[in-house]
Amino acid sequence: MILGLAVIAGVLAGLFFARWNKETWQPPALRHIWLVVVFFLPQLFAFYLPATQNLFPAPLAAASLVISQLGLLTFCILNWRRAGISILTIGLLLNFVVILANGGWMPISPETVAQLVTPDAALHLEPGKRLGASKDILLAADAIVFPWLADRFAPPDWIPYRFAFSVGDIFIGAGAFILLAFPKQNTAFLQKESTHHANQSNF
């Protein structure tokens, strides 16, 4: 949800800048887009589709997350030099490392959960178990490997929408925003790259 807002903000900013420069908005020039579609599917079924998200046993859901993120990481590396993707890749790598180190799940501590739900709801949560249908697992703070990369940040109390996020999520949101708000930089890079290849083939 919160990362979806980064995408919407990026699209709106991209449209604004395009109109400001009296140009049409160009989509970011990305390669191997099929990797995103194919490797998002395991997560779509394991975490996002209400009809299927509870059908996945925990080990299969964790494996889906790791395999999916590995595929998405491959896509990011192949598009590394596009504006925004490099920042997004750093975020994905940070999330991937902490997820891999904690058994295929994004860890979250009871202290962070207490900032998201009522004390009554927090009492019913068991350590070591997946939180609802999310990618998170509840672990005691001292049991988390790489705690600084875990979901440990929450918005200020005056924001009614409660969520927790990681350092990696900040990079991912920022990368997506830049990718969509300044897509022309990607197109310019691709043209430069094509010219470079054409020049190389002439020699």
Partner 1 sequence: MKNLTAHLASAVSKIQKQHVQFVLAALVVLMLVLGAGAPVDGGGIGH
Residue 166 lies near partner 1 (rule: CB under 8 A): yes
Residue 22 lies near partner 1 (rule: CB under 8 A): no
Residue 33 lies near partner 1 (rule: CB under 8 A): yes
CA separation for the pair 82, 187 (Å, rounded): 9
CA separation for the pair 160, 167 (Å, rounded): 21
Please list, in sequence order, all residues whose beta carbon lies within 8 angstroms of the beta carbon of residue 137, skipping any fewer than 6 positions away: 102, 103, 105, 106, 107, 108, 128, 129, 130, 131
Q: Which amino acid type is present at position 127?
A: P
Q: Select from 4, 110, 127, 128 the one that contacts partner 1 (CB under 8 A).
A: 4
- Rounded least distance, CB 6 to partner 1, Å: 7
Q: Select from 48, 55, 193, 197 the one that contacts partner 1 (CB under 8 A).
A: 48
- Rounded least distance, CB 139 to partner 1, Å: 13
Residue 180 lies near partner 1 (rule: CB under 8 A): yes
CA separation for the pair 45, 64 (Å, rounded): 9
CA separation for the pair 60, 63 (Å, rounded): 5
**Cβ-contact 101, 146 below 8 angstroms:** yes
Q: Which two tokens stand for residue 137?
A: 């697992």
Q: Which is nearer to partner 1, 39 or 56 (CB)?
A: 39
**Cβ-contact 84, 177 below 8 angstroms:** yes
Q: Select from 16, 23, 37, 52 the one that contacts partner 1 (CB under 8 A).
A: 37
- Rounded least distance, CB 199 to partner 1, Å: 28
From the CB of residue 147, how many other CB atoms can be counted at a distance below 10 Å? 15
- Rounded least distance, CB 22 to partner 1, Å: 15
For partner 1, which stretch binds (CB under 8 A), given 55-63, 118-126, 139-147, 195-203?
118-126
Please list, in sequence order, all residues whose beta carbon lies within 8 angstroms of the beta carbon of residue 185, skipping any fewer than 6 positions away: 82, 83
Residue 69 lies near partner 1 (rule: CB under 8 A): yes
- Rounded least distance, CB 62 to partner 1, Å: 12
Q: In the stretch 78-117, what mask flags binding to partner 1 with x, by CB under 8 A?
A: ----------x--xx--x---x------x-x----x--xx
